Amino acid sequence: MNSNNIGLRPLEAGSTILMSLVVMTVGTVGLASWISLLSARSSHINNKENVLSHRIAELNSRSVARESLYSRALTIKQSAPRFISMPNSDSRTIIPAIKESAFSSTTTVNRIVSVGQGNGHGFQVEIPVSMNVERKGSAANATRLPSSTYLRNYLLRSRSAQLSGDLIVMHRPKSNTEKSQRLSGNIKVYGNTLIWAPKNIFIGDSLRTSTYMIPTIIEFDGAKAIRNLDGQYFPPSNFTMLAVTSSGVGSRSVFSGEIDIIDPSHTESWSMKESIEEIGCTRVRGNVTHNNGLGVTSNGLGKIEIDLGSPFLPNIHIEDNVSEVHFHGQSNFIFSHANRLSEVAVIITQSSESILDLSRIFFHGKSNRRLVVAVKKNIQSSYYDVQYAFTEASINPLWRMILIAEDTPLKILEEQNPSGQVTIQGGIATDQSFEWSENGNKKLNVIRETDPKFLEYLAPRSAWIESYPNTN
């Protein structure tokens, strides 16, 4: 009887050993590849982390430079160089000396940009900032990588808000003013309306505007929406609003929306009074007789008259003791050529020493001459309205004018302002109220000045910061 051989044949045993060796070889190669892949992936992640850390350090340097300029550079005339060290790092930011104020700069913009704040116009101070950013990690030979150097140009930009398209600007009232603001009347704004304190203002239902903006969307809570030109309520558009300032006011934030631009108590680069005195102006007092044949007269009893048709009319500073100011436009013939007349700024200031109180401003006829009118009463008399009227509104007059009011509520004098459509080509800015008529037959249109010429220099400005990589 034959017995079966239960052991493996030599051929089968060899195949099993060979297969085992193949599996071990493949496994070893696979394991080695997997370890190598993990090592490469780890190195890649470390490099990415270093790159990301370096990018964050660069952005931090840019933010520090921007914050430094916002905190110091916009509202000063000059500043020394500044060397900023980043904590726990070898990164350094170097800001050179600033020798000129953004508010007084006469350097115009090189490149025209058709959109955005300033609309490619206005003035600028260029500040080339150098940023040395520490690089983490090391080279292949274990030596430390050198810092990266980035150059970036920061531009302190400035331009009149009205010339940039903010046709009505309701600035935040000073903190010591208790009277709430009002913006009311049958007004159409063919541009932007900027409201700095929406919770402290009454907006009339007859106001219409193309767009409007507020500082933050938080302040819109509880505030009233405004109607567009078609009469429909619509939300504010804050997408491109930058941090801007028109002046510094005491120790408060320069970005709060308050203004002190007409006649600040101290010498400031944004002072309109200093600006026109530097260019040249005539001083007039309401209690002193004045008539020099240049287009401005005072009867010595508080009444000032200004002839906007006079080719000799200078810039004017009316100081104290004035109760009425009359602006006289041009006849039809002169009106058609008034575009060629020199631009004029008229500043009206009233100190606490003034005996007479400014109560009325009249605009007679029409005017095609570029004009800035700036009115500032002392804070003690800011509770009393200054009444104004366009006495020939029935002819649907055009007035090329930027109207600025500080501590001066403006209210229409109904009986002196007939029915008709008045067009202000320029804009309005105030930190108090501006009230027009609710009468549907009395209309006020505010449109943009598209050909400002020297008005760019005379009108008060807003300032902000832009930055671009320096590729030179």
**Is 12 among the domain residues?**
no
* Same domain assignment for residues 153 and 172: no
Q: Is 102 exposed, middle or buried (0-12, 13-18, 19+ CB in 10 A)?
A: buried
Per the CB < 8 A criterion, the answer to whether 217 and 237 are in contact is no
* Same domain assignment for residues 104 and 176: no
* Same domain assignment for residues 148 and 185: no
140-187 pLDDT tens trace? 545 566 667 888 888 888 999 999 999 999 999 886 555 689 999 999
**Is 339 among the domain residues?**
yes
Which residues 6+ apart lie within 8 Å of 413 measured at CB?
Answer: 360, 387, 388, 389
Got the DSSP string for 226-292? EE-TTS-EE----TTPPP-BS---TTS-TTSS----SS-SS--TT-HHHHHHHH-EEEEETTSEEE-
Q: Which residue has the higher pLDDT, 353 or 444?
A: 444
* Same domain assignment for residues 107 and 147: yes
Q: Which of 143, 159, 175 is the last residue before a domain boundary?
A: 159
Q: Which of 124, 142, 159 is the last residue before a domain boundary?
A: 159
State the average pLDDT over residues 20-45. 72
**Is 119 among the domain residues?**
yes
* Same domain assignment for residues 169 and 254: yes
Q: In the numeric block, which tokens belong to residue 188?
A: 């159409």
Q: In the numeric block, which tokens belong to residue 292?
A: 């020099």
**Is 406 among the domain residues?**
yes
Got the DSSP string for 59-82? HHHHHHHHHHHHHHTTT-S-B--E
State the average pLDDT over residues 206-212. 96
* Same domain assignment for residues 279 and 419: yes
Q: Which of 159, 192, 216 is the last residue before a domain boundary?
A: 159
* Same domain assignment for residues 120 and 251: no
Residue type, 8: L
The dihedral region occupied by 302, where left means phi > 0, alpha psi between -120 and 50, and beta the remainder, is left
Number of domains in the chain: 2
* Same domain assignment for residues 65 and 87: yes
Per the CB < 8 A criterion, the answer to whether 224 and 181 are in contact is no
386-435 pLDDT tens trace? 999 999 999 999 999 999 999 999 999 999 999 999 999 999 999 999 99
225-242 pLDDT tens trace? 899 999 999 988 865 567
State the average pLDDT over residues 99-128. 74
**Is 100 among the domain residues?**
yes
**Is 240 among the domain residues?**
yes
Q: Tokens 């007004």 sit at which residue?
A: 187
SS (H, E, C) 341-400: CCCEEEEEECCCCCCCCCCEEEEECCEEEEEEEEEECCHHHCCCCEEEEECCHHHCCEEE
* Same domain assignment for residues 180 and 66: no
Range of the domain at 258: 162-461
* Same domain assignment for residues 386 and 453: yes
* Same domain assignment for residues 200 and 120: no
- C-alpha pair distances (Å), 75 with each of 226, 297, 392: 32, 36, 41
Q: What distance in Å separates the CA atoms of residue 377 and residue 379, rounded to the nearest whole number? A: 6
444-458 pLDDT tens trace? 999 999 999 999 999
* Same domain assignment for residues 331 and 227: yes
**Is 21 among the domain residues?**
no
**Is 19 among the domain residues?**
no
